[in-house]
């Protein structure tokens, strides 16, 4: 057996993020103001974001330098290892070579602090005192609490209520880093109060939690809003994952045939795939496949409509061109809370619409089957979100077993499942159910999409 892990020294860590906007097959559609229905400019976003991040949002520059202060904090856990899943390969009896980028070693246990630290830095630089955000499974909330703590900024997190109930230790983690955490919908915002009035037993959704966090930021002068996925600058910060992976694979004289990641809003998928997709978009690796994996309970790419929609439930955010299930969509209470979002990042959606990338959806029981197989072969218990990518990697490796092809498969191990053990208990106790989101419910939600 060759080396299991490929590591980089701190000196080999990338010093710039990759901006895929420089290489897109066509420009992104403009972001639309929810009131005027006209394209928005940087000043329209200034009430909720610092100008440093707004300029990254619209930048067409291919490379954006990572500030020294951010790089210094990244070194707490970066560069992360690239690992070969030898034991999984042996178990599957596949000729495929399976690699995973292990983002679970960060202090919060996921890929999320790659952007949380950067966002806290840019806000601190512009004198912001507090950040408000939403979180699904709690990975983003804990990452932002971590980042804010390091830069001395207050942090308020609106956590989707069902995840708040299912994952109490994520809340404890956020408290450990000094954040205040509320189960969303709350009675602290107009958006939350309206939802509770209409649906008193609401389990919440990312769209609802976003509405609360945006309203909080917009109504407090010292507060800005922070988002853990979807927006261009968030995806930009995550590209350090794929940039490191590229360097590590070069050391092995390898290059992936297939790059895989789960997708909720898109930052995890973008982080691992965009640096490789740069080669595909520039005509160097035309056969590269990139597969985004989502739950059948929230099938945004595979069943959604490509159109303008709000990023939140209350209709407070600008309108984004994306694949959407409708901003009023409330998903089933599956355990992959970080994937329960009605839309996807405009950058990812454009690439899917242009057929540069692929998407697949799985029910949660086969996903947990794959997750346990990985845990029992490779030793790490994955987060339920991460397990979606693992399921796809296993499926692709089994296809290689049938064809005899020695493909190189790379997936992003975006986070561990140490705070998700209730999900595993439910799986082992046979309490999990598979949800296929009904087509009629999608049609109903799509009726509420704004006309542009």
Question: Quick check: 275 and 259 in contact, CB under 8 A?
Answer: no
What is the model's pLDDT at position 168? 87
User: What is 268-334 written as a DSSP string?
Assistant: HHHHHHHHHHHHHHTTS-TT-EEEEEEETTS-HHHH-EEEEEESSSSS-SPEEEEEES-TT------
What is the model's pLDDT at position 337? 59
Rounded average pLDDT over 195-204: 92
pLDDT higher than 80, residue 339: no
Rounded average pLDDT over 53-59: 96
What are 89-140's pLDDT values in tens digits? 999 999 999 999 999 999 999 999 999 999 999 999 999 999 999 998 788 9
Q: Dihedral sign, CA of 261, 267, 271, 276? A: positive
Mean per-residue pLDDT of the chain: 93
Q: How far apart are CA 49 and CA 123, in angstroms?
A: 8
Q: How far apart are CA 382 and CA 379, in angstroms?
A: 9
Helix (H, G, I), strand (E, B) or coil at 423: helix
Q: Phi/psi of residue 411, each to 5°?
A: -130, 160
Of 33-47, 136-150, 275-289, 353-367, which gets the smallest average pLDDT? 33-47
Q: How far apart are CA 352 and CA 52, in angstroms?
A: 28
Question: Quick check: 154 and 130 in contact, CB under 8 A?
Answer: yes
pLDDT higher than 90, residue 284: yes
Q: How far is CA 383 from CA 328, 335, 336, 414, in A?
A: 26, 9, 8, 8
pLDDT higher than 90, residue 231: yes
pLDDT higher than 70, residue 177: yes
What is the model's pLDDT at position 333? 64
Domains and CATH numbers, the chain: 5-10+67-109+233-446 (3.40.50.1100)
What is the model's pLDDT at position 210? 87
Q: How far apart are CA 131 and CA 21, in angstroms?
A: 27
Residue 356 CB: number of other CB atoms within 10 A?
Answer: 18
Q: How far apart are CA 211 and CA 228, in angstroms?
A: 14
């Amino acid at each position: 057996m060759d080396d299991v892990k490929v590591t980089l020294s701190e000196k080999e860590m990338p010093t710039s993020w990759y901006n895929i906007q420089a290489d897109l097959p066509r420009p992104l559609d403009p972001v639309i103001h929810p009131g005027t229905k006209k394209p928005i400019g940087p000043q329209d976003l200034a009430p909720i974001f610092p100008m440093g991040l707004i300029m990254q949002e619209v930048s067409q520059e291919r490379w954006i330098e990572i500030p020294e202060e951010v790089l210094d904090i990244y070194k707490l856990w970066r560069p992360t290892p690239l690992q070969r899943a030898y034991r999984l390969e042996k178990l599957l009896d596949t000729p495929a070579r399976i690699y995973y980028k292990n983002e679970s070693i960060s202090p919060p246990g996921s890929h999320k602090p790659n952007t949380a630290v950067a966002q806290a830095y840019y806000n601190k630089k512009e004198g912001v005192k507090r950040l408000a955000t939403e979180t699904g499974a709690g990975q983003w909330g804990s990452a932002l609490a971590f980042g804010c703590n390091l830069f001395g900024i207050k942090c308020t997190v609106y956590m989707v209520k069902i995840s708040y109930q299912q994952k109490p230790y994520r809340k404890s983690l956020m408290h450990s880093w000094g954040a205040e955490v509320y189960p969303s919908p709350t009675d602290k915002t107009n958006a939350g109060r309206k939802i509770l009035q209409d649906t008193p037993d609401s389990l919440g959704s990312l769209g609802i939690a976003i509405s609360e966090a945006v309203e909080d930021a917009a109504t407090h002068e010292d507060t800005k809003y922070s988002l853990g996925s979807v927006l261009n600058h968030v995806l930009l910060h995550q590209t350090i994952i794929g940039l490191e992976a590229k360097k590590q694979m070069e050391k092995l004289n390898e290059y992936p045939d297939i790059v895989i990641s789960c997708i909720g809003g898109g930052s995890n998928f973008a982080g691992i795939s965009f640096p490789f997709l740069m080669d595909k978009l520039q005509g160097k690796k035309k056969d590269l496949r990139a597969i985004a994996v989502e739950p059948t309970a929230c099938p945004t790419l595979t069943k959604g409509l490509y159109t303008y929609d709000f990023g939140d439930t209350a209709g407070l955010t600008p309108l984004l061109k994306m694949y959407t299930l409708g901003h009023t969509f409330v998903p089933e209470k599956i355990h992959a809370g970080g994937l329960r979002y009605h839309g996807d990042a405009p950058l990812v959606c454009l690439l899917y619409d242009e057929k540069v990338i692929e998407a697949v959806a799985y029910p949660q029981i086969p996903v947990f089957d794959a997750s346990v197989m990985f845990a029992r072969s490779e030793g790490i218990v994955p987060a339920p979100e991460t397990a979606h990518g693992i399921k796809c990697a296993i499926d692709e490796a089994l296809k290689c077993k049938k064809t005899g092809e020695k493909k190189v498969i790379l997936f992003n191990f975006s986070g561990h499942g140490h705070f998700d053990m209730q999900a595993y208990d439910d799986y082992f106790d046979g309490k999990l159910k598979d949800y296929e989101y009904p087509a009629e419910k999608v049609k109903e939600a799509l009726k509420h999409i704004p006309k542009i």
